[in-house]
A and B are shown apart, each in its own frame.
Chain A
Amino acid sequence: MTGLVWTALALPLAGAVLLAVLGTRLPARGAGWLASLVMLAAFACSAIATVMLATRPHEERAVVQTAWTWLTAGSFQVGLDIWFDELTAVMLLVVTGIGFLIHVYSIGYMKGDEQERRFFAYLNLFVFSMLLLVVAGDLVLLLAGWGLVGLSSYLLIGFWHQKPSAIKAAKKAFVMNAIGDVGLALGIFLLFIELGTTAYQGVFAGAASLDSWTATAAALLLLVGALAKSAQLPLHTWLPDAMEGPTPVSALIHAATMVTAGVYLIARMNPLFHAAPYALETIVVIGVLGLLMAGAIALVQTDIKRIIAFSTMSQIAYMFVGVGLGAYWAGIFHLFTHAFFKALLFMGAGIVIHALHGEQDVRNMGGLRSVMPKTYFCMLIGALALVGIFPLSGGFSKDAILSSALEVGTPLAWVAYIGGLVGALLTGIYTFRLMFLVFHRRMSPYAEAVAPKAVKHHGEGPSSMLWPVYILTLGAAVVGFLQIPGLTHVFFDWLEPIAPAGMVEPSAVQEWLTTLIAVSIGVAGIAIAGHLYLRENDAPERMRLGRGRLIDHALEHRLYWDDLYEVAFERPAQWLAAFLRRDVDRPVAGWLPTDGLGTLTAFLGRSISVIENGVVRSYALVIALGVAGLLLALLVRAA
């Protein structure tokens, strides 16, 4: 079983290396198939391993295995450990499964790009990193995966590196993630100092013994890492920019897998967070704020992928709320369903963009329903799932989170509950704003000029792009049935052992009640969107609810977070660096001890040369004065 996990981990790495080494010796088309095949194999391994895990008795389901000692120094020791349990299995399946589909999709999407091989190498590298992150049995190893994920994300966002905007976005993502890495690393330091180990076993066993301040500090530091990776407040600004990358990347990394790593981390570290209630509350607060803010911003975006990106941020904020409330299973469940419908939405958007020759602005779309019916259908399913319309998957998972808030019942939980419902309204509006602007209404002139012709020639897309979408559509529709309140209980049962201190589980009544409310709100949101955007008018991109220019302006500028960072950090740092270089380092360290002293000694040397004037009687004078002077000094001294 562990062998399979190792294999699943090694396969994408091997794929990446193979692609990098073979390079142009590999036919361009072959690269995609090779990468996809690797992913399929990895998925198969994961699936079989999961089945084998399921056959084990409950208490033997957490398996640890060390390949070799990775790093040691003094008492500090990190093994190359894998930790395979139920949570790992879920993540493995999501990463390899969705990953496989996206690989296949990419074959079509990237066709004709001259850098195809590089793309698939990066994709495989990403999957390896993500797998390392989820199977790691040691916090340091998790951090390694954590960082490598960021690296692959950087590479993929900046894949089209000729575009300065893409490179800028990639750098931004990397730096933000590096901040998160540092936070995570600091948390690991603290845990090592307190517990003497960074392996999960030791940390889980020792978490309870930590005093509450230490536990809170460690948890908050880990949370910094989670926030950066999952693009949550206040480290979220990189995610919308990350849409500069190719669409499959957005689907894989910025929807299904990487950005959910923060949720995974919190769920994984639940014994620690359990010991740090303040940290959990912080997570809830951040989650609520994030889901509202991201939903609001999504209302006014015009880039199709950015809308989905903000939606992703918002949905992950839901997951944060879930894990923050202690309903780890609900958070992971939402992660699971979200992976399907969000990947689906991105891939659908990718098909649209493909058909429009790269156009991403929703104002240049419209009316595509008739041209691309299959895509429309699939995306509709995805959108409904996102809004949480019964019986699609998103509803079950989101409502599980909200109803958990009911179960918890603290004031904060109530806030979360209300916030979540408001968020659901926003979700309905922005999702169907997207759908209406893209697929309904009258075709924009650009779309009219491009889309019908493209579809006529190539169909809605190559089958390698469509089939993954179909599969995901199916998944988005049905995976929610794993956990139908009162009926099925698979997900909770499966994940229950990962939280030794127990998980919050709402009652079926709470869940159904919430579902009722949430679905109504969602439908209301759709209706509002219909009211606003289905009618033809001259300003479709405007969210006309907020008439104040201030709100519009603020939302369009994403509530000024980027500007804040620029003014608060970037510019001062740039200025400081320039100042130090020009006015401090060069003169003080560079000039003064070398040229400065050199100038001084040269001046002294020339002064001495002046005395050495070549006139012999002047030399004699110096000698005479020297003798007289020495004599005087010594006679005075002797006297």
Chain B
Amino acid sequence: MGIVVFFLAAFLAIVSALAVVSQRNPFVSALGLLGNLVSLATLMLLLDAQFVAAAQVIVYAGAIMVMFLFVIAYVGPRGEIGPGTRKPWQVVLAVVAGLLVVTQIVLVVWTTDFGKPSSIDDAFGGPGAVGQAFVTDYLLAFEGVSVILFMAAVAGVILGAGARPKRLTTDQVLAKEGEAEARRRAASRAAIEAAREAEPGEAR
């Protein structure tokens, strides 16, 4: 039973991941990611990590995916860039790199003797156990993540918030300064020229 579920979920995870990276339409890719993370949640359930699996679905499907979809909708068709690449060597080397990574890791994990999985109690993987770890041993990480999320929120506002009225780009600001500068210089140059003409003897 577990075996069947595992392989099914694993297969789905891989297929959906492939869909994510191969689809031209980012919308479809996003849906692929959804499938991927649900499959992964299933695998996590198999690993007795109920809370993480739940969080996976809630956080990703509830938050991240929504954000993605909003932005994809906002960007619209401009976000569609085909998989076709203009650099053949990039493809070859990318595949080589991917294969190298995967074969090496697989080789390592299959040659390593991990021993038997530890025995676990019922609480393992439940919200209680994970939550307790979170507020005791990993309090700092917990707080850290919250700070990061806070910061990300601020950042989101800065980066994505509605345009402020009549905001000049930096280049424009600089250009404006430059124009003022140039005017000033032209004026002073004219003054100098005038002074020179007035006193030709002094001119060098």
Chains A and B bind each other:
yes
Question: Which A residues contact B (CB, under 8 angstroms)?
Answer: 615, 617-618, 621, 624-625, 627-629, 631-632, 635
Is there a chain A Cβ closer than 8 Å to B101's Cβ? yes
Q: Could you tell me if B104 and A624 are in contact, using CB atoms closer than 8 angstroms?
A: no
From B29-37, B92-100, B182-190, the one touching the partner chain is B92-100
B92-128 vs A: 1/0 string, CB under 8 Å? 0110111011001001100000000000000000000
Q: Could you tell me if B94 and A628 are in contact, using CB atoms closer than 8 angstroms?
A: no
Q: Could you tell me if B101 and A627 are in contact, using CB atoms closer than 8 angstroms?
A: yes
Closest B-chain residue to A629, C-beta based?
A: B100
Are A617 and B90 CB-contacts (below 8 A) given A628-B104, A635-B108? yes
Closest B-chain residue to A626, C-beta based?
A: B97
Roughly how many angstroms separate A142 CA and B105 CA in the complex, as a whole number? 90
Roughly how many angstroms separate A628 CA and B100 CA in the complex, as a whole number? 6
Q: Could you tell me if A628 and B108 are in contact, using CB atoms closer than 8 angstroms?
A: no
Are A625 and B90 CB-contacts (below 8 A) given A631-B104, A632-B100, A632-B104? no
Question: Which B residues contact A (CB, under 8 angstroms)?
Answer: 87, 90, 93-94, 96-98, 100-101, 104, 107-108
Closest B-chain residue to A623, C-beta based?
A: B97
- Which chain B positions have C-beta within 8 A of A621? 90, 93-94, 97
Q: Could you tell me if A624 and B101 are in contact, using CB atoms closer than 8 angstroms?
A: yes
Shortest CB–CB separation between residue B200 and chain A, in angstroms?
41
Roughly how many angstroms separate A621 CA and B85 CA in the complex, as a whole number? 14
Q: Give the tally of cross-chain contacts (CB within 8 A).
A: 31
Shortest CB–CB separation between residue B163 and chain A, in angstroms?
26
Shortest CB–CB separation between residue A262 and chain B, in angstroms?
65
Query: 8 A-B Cβ contacts within 8 A?
Result: A615-B87, A618-B87, A621-B93, A625-B93, A627-B101, A628-B101, A632-B104, A635-B107
Are A628 and B97 CB-contacts (below 8 A) given A635-B104, A635-B108? yes
Roughly how many angstroms separate A625 CA and B96 CA in the complex, as a whole number? 8
Roughly how many angstroms separate A128 CA and B31 CA in the complex, as a whole number? 109
Shortest CB–CB separation between residue A624 and chain B, in angstroms?
4
- Which chain A positions have C-beta within 8 A of B108? 635
Closest A-chain residue to B108, C-beta based?
A: A635
A interface SS class: helix
- Which chain B positions have C-beta within 8 A of A617? 90, 94
- Which chain B positions have C-beta within 8 A of A625? 93, 96-97, 100
Closest B-chain residue to A617, C-beta based?
A: B90
Roughly how many angstroms separate A625 CA and B94 CA in the complex, as a whole number? 8
Shortest CB–CB separation between residue A634 and chain B, in angstroms?
10
Are A624 and B90 CB-contacts (below 8 A) given A631-B104, A635-B104, A635-B108? no
| Other 8 A-B pairs with CB < 8 A, given A615-B87, A625-B97, A635-B107 | A617-B90, A617-B94, A618-B90, A625-B93, A625-B96, A628-B100, A631-B104, A632-B100
- Which chain A positions have C-beta within 8 A of B98? 624
Roughly how many angstroms separate A291 CA and B149 CA in the complex, as a whole number? 112
Closest B-chain residue to A628, C-beta based?
A: B100
- Which chain B positions have C-beta within 8 A of A635? 104, 107-108
Nearest 7 pairs of A and B residues by beta carbon: A628-B100, A624-B97, A625-B97, A628-B101, A628-B97, A631-B104, A621-B93
Closest A-chain residue to B93, C-beta based?
A: A621
Roughly how many angstroms separate A618 CA and B101 CA in the complex, as a whole number? 17
- Which chain A positions have C-beta within 8 A of B107? 635
Roughly how many angstroms separate A631 CA and B93 CA in the complex, as a whole number? 16
Task: Choose one: A615, A624, A627, A629; the contact of B94 (CB below 8 Å).
Answer: A624
Shortest CB–CB separation between residue A615 and chain B, in angstroms?
8
- Which chain B positions have C-beta within 8 A of A632? 100, 104
Roughly how many angstroms separate A618 CA and B96 CA in the complex, as a whole number? 13
- Which chain A positions have C-beta within 8 A of B94? 617, 621, 624
Roughly how many angstroms separate A629 CA and B97 CA in the complex, as a whole number? 9
Shortest CB–CB separation between residue B119 and chain A, in angstroms?
31
Shortest CB–CB separation between residue A425 and chain B, in angstroms?
80
Shortest CB–CB separation between residue A136 and chain B, in angstroms?
61
- Which chain A positions have C-beta within 8 A of B87? 615, 618
Shortest CB–CB separation between residue A635 and chain B, in angstroms?
6
Roughly how many angstroms separate A635 CA and B100 CA in the complex, as a whole number? 12
- Which chain A positions have C-beta within 8 A of B96? 625
Roughly how many angstroms separate A632 CA and B104 CA in the complex, as a whole number? 7
Closest B-chain residue to A639, C-beta based?
A: B111
- Which chain A positions have C-beta within 8 A of B93? 621, 625
Closest B-chain residue to A613, C-beta based?
A: B87
Roughly how many angstroms separate A160 CA and B87 CA in the complex, as a whole number? 80
Closest B-chain residue to A631, C-beta based?
A: B104
Roughly how many angstroms separate A627 CA and B100 CA in the complex, as a whole number? 10
Roughly how many angstroms separate A618 CA and B93 CA in the complex, as a whole number? 10
- Which chain B positions have C-beta within 8 A of A624? 94, 97-98, 101
Roughly how many angstroms separate A624 CA and B96 CA in the complex, as a whole number? 10
Shortest CB–CB separation between residue A623 and chain B, in angstroms?
9
Shortest CB–CB separation between residue A393 and chain B, in angstroms?
75
Shortest CB–CB separation between residue A611 and chain B, in angstroms?
12
Roughly how many angstroms separate A632 CA and B107 CA in the complex, as a whole number? 11
Roughly how many angstroms separate A631 CA and B106 CA in the complex, as a whole number? 13
Roughly how many angstroms separate A632 CA and B97 CA in the complex, as a whole number? 11
Roughly how many angstroms separate A632 CA and B96 CA in the complex, as a whole number? 13
Roughly how many angstroms separate A368 CA and B87 CA in the complex, as a whole number? 103
Roughly how many angstroms separate A624 CA and B101 CA in the complex, as a whole number? 8
- Which chain B positions have C-beta within 8 A of A618? 87, 90
Roughly how many angstroms separate A165 CA and B93 CA in the complex, as a whole number? 78
**Most B C-beta atoms less than 10 A away, residue of A618, A628, A629, A631:** A628
**Most B C-beta atoms less than 10 A away, residue of A621, A629, A632:** A621
Shortest CB–CB separation between residue B135 and chain A, in angstroms?
35
Roughly how many angstroms separate A625 CA and B101 CA in the complex, as a whole number? 9
- Which chain A positions have C-beta within 8 A of B97? 621, 624-625, 628
Shortest CB–CB separation between residue B106 and chain A, in angstroms?
12
Roughly how many angstroms separate A615 CA and B104 CA in the complex, as a whole number? 27
Roughly how many angstroms separate A237 CA and B55 CA in the complex, as a whole number? 109
Roughly how many angstroms separate A631 CA and B99 CA in the complex, as a whole number? 13
Closest B-chain residue to A625, C-beta based?
A: B97
Shortest CB–CB separation between residue A571 and chain B, in angstroms?
54
Shortest CB–CB separation between residue A638 and chain B, in angstroms?
10
Closest A-chain residue to B101, C-beta based?
A: A628
Shortest CB–CB separation between residue A607 and chain B, in angstroms?
16
Roughly how many angstroms separate A632 CA and B87 CA in the complex, as a whole number? 25
Shortest CB–CB separation between residue B94 and chain A, in angstroms?
6
Roughly how many angstroms separate A611 CA and B98 CA in the complex, as a whole number? 20
Roughly how many angstroms separate A618 CA and B107 CA in the complex, as a whole number? 26
Roughly how many angstroms separate A628 CA and B104 CA in the complex, as a whole number? 8
- Which chain B positions have C-beta within 8 A of A629? 100
Roughly how many angstroms separate A365 CA and B38 CA in the complex, as a whole number? 127
Roughly how many angstroms separate A618 CA and B89 CA in the complex, as a whole number? 10
Shortest CB–CB separation between residue A591 and chain B, in angstroms?
37
Shortest CB–CB separation between residue B157 and chain A, in angstroms?
25
- Which chain A positions have C-beta within 8 A of B100? 625, 628-629, 631-632
Roughly how many angstroms separate A101 CA and B1 CA in the complex, as a whole number? 136
- Which chain A positions have C-beta within 8 A of B101? 624, 627-628, 631
Roughly how many angstroms separate A629 CA and B100 CA in the complex, as a whole number? 8
Roughly how many angstroms separate A628 CA and B105 CA in the complex, as a whole number? 10
Roughly how many angstroms separate A617 CA and B97 CA in the complex, as a whole number? 13
Shortest CB–CB separation between residue A637 and chain B, in angstroms?
13
Roughly how many angstroms separate A635 CA and B109 CA in the complex, as a whole number? 13
**Most A C-beta atoms less than 10 A away, residue of B90, B100, B108:** B100
Closest A-chain residue to B98, C-beta based?
A: A624
Shortest CB–CB separation between residue A150 and chain B, in angstroms?
52
